[in-house]
Amino acid sequence: MGFRYLIGIDEAGRGPLAGPLCVGACLVHAETKRRALAALRGVRDCKQLTPEKRLLWLLRIKHEAKQGTLLFTSSFVAPSVIDSSGMAYALRHAIHRCLKRLPAAPERALIKLDGGLRAPACYPFQETIVDGDEREPLIAAASIVAKVRRDRYMVRLARRFPQYDFEIHKGYGTKRHFEALRKYGVSEVHRR
């Protein structure tokens, strides 16, 4: 079947103790697929890149979006929603919002998701790929979008909650973060 759209999806922030979940999605049209994949040649999973290299890749992704080669979006889910409805719901909700923002008819799109993720059932053509962020350029690009946007958000939160050092560990469970939790307790942006 000839798909008109190819979409890669990944998340950042599933495991932290604080801050939101962020899902990123990148879309290419069939007409621009070759050009987009050439522009993304060499892209890697965000966890394998330094913050500086992630930023360079995001700038390249933004440049390609301005050129009309691809589209990208992201969606945040607050810690309070994760606490009240669970991580599975948060992931489904963020993926659904990302897909609604992209101009792709569900029956004409092939969606590739990093391992464990699923798109809504109204998207009949989807593939969950273990280590997809290492094997599929669009998933890797989506992982960079999600990671950079979430990290930037955590840096902004660090200004409101300087005692937790969010700008350093981005809400993950580091020794430094656990020490701050013991000293200051949980904040409104921590997950319960």
pLDDT at 48: 86
Q: pLDDT tens-digit profile of 11-31?
A: 999 999 999 999 999 999 999
Q: Which among 28, 14, 15 has a CA at the least distance from the CA of 112?
A: 28
Amino acid at 2: G
Say which amino acid occupies 103. Answer: P
pLDDT of residue 1: 55
pLDDT of residue 183: 97
162-186 burial by CB neighbour count: b if 16+ within 10 A, else e? eebbbeebbbbeeeebeebbeeeee
Confidence class for position 45, pLDDT limits 50, 70, 90: confident
The model carries a pTM of: 0.94
pLDDT digits (tens, 9 = 90+) for 72-85: 999 999 999 999 99
- Report the percent of the chain where pLDDT is more than 70: 99
Average pLDDT for the chain = 95
The reported pLDDT for the residue numbered 46 is 80
